Amino acid sequence: MQLAVWTYEGPPHVGAMRIATAMQGVHYVLHAPQGDTYADLLFTMIERREKRPPVTWTTFQARDLGGDTAELFMEAARDAYARFKPEAMLVGASCTAELIQDDPGGLAKTLGLPVPVVPLELPAYQRKENWGAAETFYRLVRAFAGSAQTRTPREPARAPRCNILGPTALGFRHRDDVAEITKLLTSMGIEVVVTAPMGATPTDLTRLRDADFNVVLYPEIAQVTAGFLQRHLGQPFTRTVPIGVGATRDFMNEVAELAGLPPPSTDGGGTLRLPWYARSVDSNYLTGKRVFIFGDAAHAIAAARIAHEELGFAVVGLGTYSREFGREIRAAAEKYGVEALISDDYLEVEESIAALQPELVLGTQMERHIAKKLGVPCAVISAPVHVQDYPARYAPQMGFEGANVIFDTWVHPLMMGLEEHLLGMFREDFEFRDGAAPSHLGHAPQPEAPAAPIIAGPASWEHDAEAELRKIPFFVRGKARRNTERFAEERGIAVITVETIYDAKAHFSR
Amino acid sequence: MSLAGTPQDSQGIAAEAAGCADTPILRERGQREVFCGLTGIIWLHRKIQDAFFLVVGSRTCAHLLQSAAGVMIFAEPRFATAIIEERDLAGLADANEELDRVVTRLIQRRPDIRMLFLVGSCPSEVIKLDLSRAAQRLSERFLPSVRVLSYSGSGIETTFTEGEDACLAALVPEMPTEPGTARSLLVVGALAEVVEDQFIRLFAALGVGPVRFLPSRRASDLPAVGEGTRFLLAQPFLAGTARALEARGARHIPAAFPLGEEGTTAWLRAAAEVWGVSEERFTQATAQGRERARAALANHRKTLDGKSIFFFPDSQLEVPLARFLSRELGMKPIEIGTPYLHRQHLAHELALLPATAKLVEGQHVDRQLDRCREARPDMTVCGLGLANPLEAEGLTTKWSIELVFSPIQGYDQAGDLAGLFARPLVRREKLMV
């Protein structure tokens, strides 16, 4: 048993729902007890969908367990077909129905429905949401991809074609990422045959074979499918996730190579602003800001690269809850000289953030909580999602516009450069009192930034030294304290005095 | 007409009974778009401040709790899930030993906990994990600092608010015994503290008391119960708790539920009659509250009068709400869906419903949606899975879970309760886009 306070991912059948809901003409019949229908509200409330997810639940109760739950399932499947007339049906079980072993796939087969029925086996006690989404997408594509073929080279006269794989319902900015990347591919002279699962019908899946290669936007969802299509239809696929300026440029080069095109122009066509904004002098204050990054693997790895290469931050922590991508995240962490945190235990992530004392947290909605509790600025970079992650405006994460959005999103929670300096210079002035919040964020000045994250060091602080420490602006105080304590520890100093603070300052200043 | 009341309450509300008490009920079976009983943890853990709720279940249970709680709970919540994994099922790990390990870790982390509920879920029940024995075993280990109890919040056993019923029923055997037969009043059902305090003042003015509440704010401070205990239900979904209290000698005071001016008055009156409070004193004690409630309702009546309303089943509050909305605000209930209809506890309510309202117990969500679309009600009360899709079809909705989370009982909340229904209509009027 695993003790969980919050979870990063839902059960695998929720992943399957994300695929079914993203597509058109698919209906999912789920053998599940009463109450599991809560998952509908993720789509109607968090994502504000205007339609119910295309899911029929059997919602059995205790009294049904004594009777015939298999019959209940068959009735639900029959009724669902009659009412919704889908092009294809998915059938499966949630965690509880898995235990009663009714075999939805086998039962559905006996119904002889006039449409393809794809059975899903999603082991709920081993796997989680993203795995469930990946598996469901793979099963659907397998069912509709058609017979195997070897690729013949593209005729030079025909424009190169690709599919976009991975966007789902309830994804983090998938809607806008698809729009941005479609625009990017089109600008490169590449035709998009099918985007799936988002917006695709089962019939569309039969046309996947018309593409020369596949663009994998979200490896957590689409890598398994892309691997299958490579083996089955000889379609290669992209490995770079185009989040950030550098990654978008790499992605364009990779795509051009797969498409047999000459190296593309990757200057962003005049609307890319991140590189200049990052060079602008007011961004000086971003230098070396300590950031902690946590999310799904693809977003976390991309965020680390942006933080390091494009904003000049210092990556002090990098982690993911996507265990399936442990190898990738460890490789990335090594690049920044940190140890990867691979965990789906929210409490462990919290402990790690508290210990590392970052100046900015880039995480999920969970880390937003942790950061709020610790009084650290935070921006959200990855699912699990919240209603705020579906902005009304166009706000992709991918491509050049995505990089612009990311610059704004990450810099916004921080104290603005000039303001930070004013606070430093005029900290004795009551208007610039300790704990003043960034003026553009509008919330009431917080009380003394919570003391919680400052973990008692081994050395004790003399009264005068404590008083001196309080004169240091609060947003660098944690760092000063940490450095001083580390300095004291390394030298075996038991009591920290005012002198120790300044010795440490001199030691650490570069 | 058979009303399951005792003689002393028959001149109040029962006398004017006419409405729905005998109308046939449509019982439906099919997909039920309702929460399971685990959801009650969201408000119970706030209410009982030294208790912790440990769901023994699956990732789905954990996901439900955080989705229902909106992820947005600030402190570390006093609930968690012990997620059953493959090795527990395959017998590689002994589920009971695993549970003991998880509970031990939890109690170490949270030394402030005085009561721990092991909450059963669909998977724990299907694999027949005996949580009541586990609770006994763990209680022996952790008493006196922590008492461990168990109840089921599973979807196969409980629908939404029935989780609170199961939780409170589990508390009843833990209540100390009241010696003697001296009369006391027990108010049963989780209420907001502000509402409890208002009722305490009202009962004091009536001379009804001593008054106690179940659940108490602290699990370590449970009220006593005995032969002299008379109890009022503050919520309509507490059938099991009522039975457990009766088994301990307490007696139920049948009454309408304290929603709106009329319901609150009837509810208070039922207790006042048991205590033999004079009419004069009753009038004196309640006049101000009634007046304030009527004034607050008058504002909303303009918006709600004559509007039709359709209830999808959710919390079992549907019948008292429909009664309040029809009698005090002039709304016209078309269909009143409820997950479960307790005829006896709702007798006073059913008698006051307009005979035209259709009562539906259970659910077949697709058929009910068909009926709702056909009826095009002015307002539809439904869960969050249905609200936005119906809004997109042009129907005005009130999402029902708010009615469970908000303080709505008593005179001073009557206006707020009406406001919850008026707001979606007012908003629809206001929006010009």
**What are the pLDDT digits (tens) for B106-115?**
999 889 999 9
pLDDT digits 0-9 by tens, B289-341: 999 999 999 999 999 999 999 999 999 999 999 999 999 999 999 999 999 99
Chain B residues near residue A366 by CB distance under 8 angstroms: 71
Chain A residues near residue B152 by CB distance under 8 angstroms: none
Chain B residues near residue A44 by CB distance under 8 angstroms: 384-389
pLDDT band at A481 (very low <50, low <70, confident <90, very high): confident
Per-residue pLDDT at A429: 56
Per-residue pLDDT at A416: 61
Select which of A282, A408, A429, A464 is catalytic.
Answer: A282
From B68, which residue of chain A is nearest by alpha-carbon distance?
A38
Largest CA distance in chain A: 84
Q: How far is A281 from chain B (nearest CA, A)?
A: 37
pLDDT digits 0-9 by tens, A165-187: 999 999 999 999 999 999 999 99
pLDDT digits 0-9 by tens, A452-462: 334 445 678 98
Instruction: Look at B88 and A1 and tell me if their CB atoms are within 8 Å.
Output: yes
HSE, side-chain direction, 13 A CA sphere, residue B103? 30
pLDDT at A280 over 70: yes
Largest CA distance in chain B: 70
- List Cα–Cα distances, B241 to B23, B169, B247, in angstroms: 27, 4, 10
- Mean pLDDT in chain B? 92
Per-residue pLDDT at A434: 52
Q: How far is B226 from chain A (nearest CA, A)?
A: 33
d(CA B188, CA A478) in angstroms, rounded, equals 49
From A101, which residue of chain B is nearest by alpha-carbon distance?
B126
Per-residue pLDDT at A402: 98
Per-residue pLDDT at B37: 97
Identify the residue with better confidence: B232 or A471.
B232
Instruction: Look at A373 and B35 and tell me if their CB atoms are within 8 Å.
Output: no
Extract the tokens encoding B367: 């058929």
Q: Which helix (H) or strand (E) holds A320?
A: strand A314-320
Helices and strands in chain A, H and E counts:
21, 15
Per-residue pLDDT at B15: 34
Percentage of chain B lying above the pLDDT 90 cut: 85
Chain A residues near residue B77 by CB distance under 8 angstroms: 5
Per-residue pLDDT at B152: 98
Instruction: Look at B389 and A52 and tell me if their CB atoms are within 8 Å.
Output: yes
Per-residue pLDDT at A347: 86
pLDDT at A448 over 80: no
Per-residue pLDDT at A470: 84
Per-residue pLDDT at A438: 60
pLDDT at A201 over 50: yes
Mean pLDDT confidence for A108-123: 96
Instruction: Look at A95 and B155 and tell me if their CB atoms are within 8 Å.
Output: no
Instruction: Look at B77 and A5 and tell me if their CB atoms are within 8 Å.
Output: yes
Extract the tokens encoding B194: 């502000």
pLDDT band at A247 (very low <50, low <70, confident <90, very high): very high
Chain B residues near residue A452 by CB distance under 8 angstroms: none
Instruction: Look at B392 and A50 and tell me if their CB atoms are within 8 Å.
Output: yes
User: Minimum mean pLDDT among A182-196, B64-78, B293-307: which range?
Assistant: B64-78
Which pTM does this prediction carry? Answer: 0.90
pLDDT band at B6 (very low <50, low <70, confident <90, very high): very low
Report yes or no: B162 at the A interface, CB cutoff 8 Å.
no
pLDDT at B57 over 60: yes
Q: How far is B386 from chain A (nearest CA, A)?
A: 7
pLDDT digits 0-9 by tens, A419-438: 665 555 555 555 545 555 56
pLDDT at B257 over 90: yes
Q: A250 catalytic, yes or no?
A: no
What are the phi and psi torsion angles at B93 (to 5°)?
Answer: -120, 145
Per-residue pLDDT at A469: 86
pLDDT digits 0-9 by tens, B19-50: 656 678 999 999 999 999 999 999 999 899 99
Q: How far is A376 from chain B (nearest CA, A)?
A: 15
Q: A202 Cβ partners below 8 Å, 6+ apart?
A: A23, A25, A26, A87, A88, A116, A140, A143, A144
Extract the tokens encoding B118: 């092991």
**Which alpha helices (DSSP H) does B34-185 contain, by range?**
41-47, 59-68, 86-89, 95-109, 122-126, 131-142, 162-171
pLDDT at B284 over 50: yes
